[in-house]
Structure 1
């Protein structure tokens, strides 16, 4: 997945937005103001921080060399994923899981507005 594809996929979710609160080099993808992905799209190798269920986070780190505890994040809930180290389908699944976890933490009215009860 290229940086442009990563950006486009993150922005394909309902109410997602790209912001730059940490400077122009760090793309923060949010849903209703809550972060679900963070990436320096110009970095090599390309990595992305994604929210993850704590049990799944540990399992993914054991299964894939490309998945490590979240850099500068709560390592219990976030993983840093090297994009080139995973098949695109798996990466897309992890991004969607991150989005869904964040949406699940939103107030019910917001979840219903996003069509994700």
Structure 2
């Protein structure tokens, strides 16, 4: 998957917000004001960082050399994913999982606001 495909896929989800809080190259996607995906727009091959359940992180890192602890993030909860060489289905599952983890961490009020968003 390339950056535009990932962005299109993420923007299909409810309440996704695109931000550049760190610099002009790192796109941060949020739901309910919380980050669920970071993507370096000028890094080749394409890298993304996604939140992942710690137990699942260990399995993913063992099974896929393209997945490792995310740089500058809590490596227990965040994975860096080199998209080159990974199947689109796996990348989509990682994005979905990250989005769901963050969505579930929101307050009930914030979750409802996201559900009600256009």
Q: Given that residues 26 and 38 in structure 2 are in contact (C-alpha distance below 8 angstroms), is that contact kept between their aligned partners in structure 1?
A: yes
1:96 and 2:116 aligned: no
* CA distances 1:43-68 after superposition (whole Å, capped 9, x unpaired): 10100000000000111000111100
Q: How many residues align?
A: 115
Are residue 79 (structure 1) and residue 64 (structure 2) matched? no
Correspondence list, 1:47-66, <5 A = 47-66=47-66
* TM-score, length-scaled by structure 2: 0.92
Which stretches of structure 1, 4 residues or more, deviate above 4 A after TM superposition? none
Give, in whole Å, the separation in 2 of the partners of 1:38 and 1:4. 13
The within-5 A match list for 1:24-63 is 24-63=24-63
Matched, 1:111 2:111: yes
Q: Normalising by the residue count of structure 1, what TM-score does the alignment of the two structures yield?
A: 0.93
Structure 1 residue 23: Cα displacement: 1.1
Q: Contact 1:39/1:48 (CA < 8 Å) preserved in 2?
A: yes
| Contact kept? 1:3, 1:42, Cα under 8 Å | no
Structure 1 stretches lacking a partner, 5+ long:
none
Q: Distance in 1 between matches of 2:102 and 2:85?
A: 24
What is aligned with 1:15? 15
* Structure 2 gaps, min length 5: none
Higher relative CO (Cα under 8 Å, sequence separation at least 6) belongs to 2
CA contact (8 A) 1:25 1:41 kept: yes
